[in-house]
Amino acid sequence: MTAGDLRRFPHHRQFVKFCGLDLSTQQSGQFRGTSRLSKHGNARLRYAFWMAANGAVRMRQHTFREKYARYIKADPQNPDRKRKALCAVAAKVARVAHGLIKTGTDYRPYFEALPPSGALRSRGPSRQVLTS
């Protein structure tokens, strides 16, 4: 890819803008248009994150699929809503990729959806050590 070192972007919003996955609004005076994808970034990166989002929303249990489902819940048959939801998921994939590369950690999906209490969910049956 042609992104170079992602640590040069101090904030994930800068990286999303570099990819062209940010929203822009045309406005003049009292007129304010609708928000659209700016596409003022790297088209190859945008395409790569678009394809990654396509794969992520097809996985069975995944937070990216949950986000996609939340976006299209109002009208699941509307192709325009599906496209916008996929763009939102692609931007989320870009934010996650930026965070992973910047911190140098592996992707752990169970950290994305923490319960409101902030406690970590168990990933299986808990193992208790019995002492006598």
Consecutive H or E run containing 124? none
The helices-and-strands tally (H runs, E runs) of the chain is 4, 2
Question: In the predicted model, is pLDDT for residue 126 greater than 80?
Answer: no
- Domain residue spans of the chain: 6-23+35-104
Identify the CA nearest to 84 among candidates 71, 74, 94. 71
Predicted confidence (pLDDT) per residue in 41-66, tens digit: 888 999 999 999 999 999 877 788 88
Identify the CA nearest to 70 among candidates 85, 59, 55, 56. 85
- Report d(CA 77, CA 108) in Å as an integer: 31
pTM: 0.74
Predicted confidence (pLDDT) per residue in 72-122, tens digit: 999 999 999 999 999 999 999 999 988 888 888 888 876 665 555 555 555
Predicted confidence (pLDDT) per residue in 2-45, tens digit: 677 777 888 888 889 888 898 888 888 888 888 888 888 888 99
